[in-house]
Amino acid sequence: MPQLYPGEVFANTTDFDIGIRQLLPRYDEMLEVIVRCVPSKSHRILELGCGTGELSLKILNYCPNTQVIALDYSPRMLQFAQDKIAQANYQTRWTGIEADFGEWANNPEKFGISEKFDACVSSLAIHHLNDEMKLKLFQQIRKTLHQDGCFWNADPIKPESPALAEIYQAMREEWATQQGTTLTEIRNKVGTSTNYGYSSQDQLATLEAHFKMLSQAGFETVAVPWKYYGLAVFGGWVSK
């Protein structure tokens, strides 16, 4: 079975867009929430861990004048995203950079993207960092945002109790059944990921822990605009 970077999930990249929708309940709705929380008049948006470009594509549709700078350490994901963006004729408004956003958090000067952003977004990527690195990343995101800028992240969250863990798991299984498959069938397409850079296997944190880290990083207002069982969209704003 192919070795994967954390976050690539499926052994074959072409399985990702269908497989993730079978694996995660309401995936498109989750991404749409991020898009709607980003100001439509944004000029520059930073995306951390762009994957196959699904969130980038939704943002480019929603924000007609924005430039998206997308970081991802997976060459195959970046290529897949680039092809998808080009097919939609958005290639002049999207730039993919092969980079580990954990490394960007520690050494931002190496990446030549010092100009500030109106918003930063991420989906299904930051949970691969340990909590110390999550905090460093949030601090760096805070520094790179304009005043009144915002950051939104979609990720699985750590259940606050064993009972909730069982409920979240049952919902995932029920969702897969509704999609005409099973979690077992979906996971048969999942590859074995290896640690890469600052990322490793799932290192989930509770919503409360995320709120504390965001506040410590300097986000004056934090919020959860969407939550569905063990998935959440959360983030905040930098004050004017």
State phi, psi for 92 to the nearest 5 degrees. Answer: -75, -10
Q: Are 60 and 85 in contact (CB under 8 A)?
A: yes
Q: Find, among 206, 210, 123, 208, the residue nearest to 159 by Cα.
A: 206
Q: Find, among 112, 102, 114, the residue nearest to 143 by Cα.
A: 114
CATH architecture of 3-237: 3-Layer(aba) Sandwich (3.40)
Q: What pLDDT, on the 0 to 100 scale, is given for residue 177?
A: 95
99-108, 182-191, 220-229: lowest mean pLDDT where? 182-191
Q: What pLDDT, on the 0 to 100 scale, is given for residue 60?
A: 98
Distances 117 to 47, 109, 215, 240 between C-alpha atoms, Å = 10, 15, 19, 14
> Cα dihedral sign for 96, 100, 105, 110?
negative
Each residue of 99-148: pLDDT tens digit? 999 999 999 999 888 889 999 999 999 999 999 999 999 999 999 999 99
- 């060459």: which residue's tokens? 75
Give kind and range of the element (H or E) at residue 147.
strand 145-156
How is residue 222 written in tokens? 């934090």
Please state the pTM of the whole predicted model. 0.95
Each residue of 7-49: pLDDT tens digit? 778 878 888 899 999 999 999 999 999 999 999 999 999 999 9
- What DSSP designation does 94 have? E
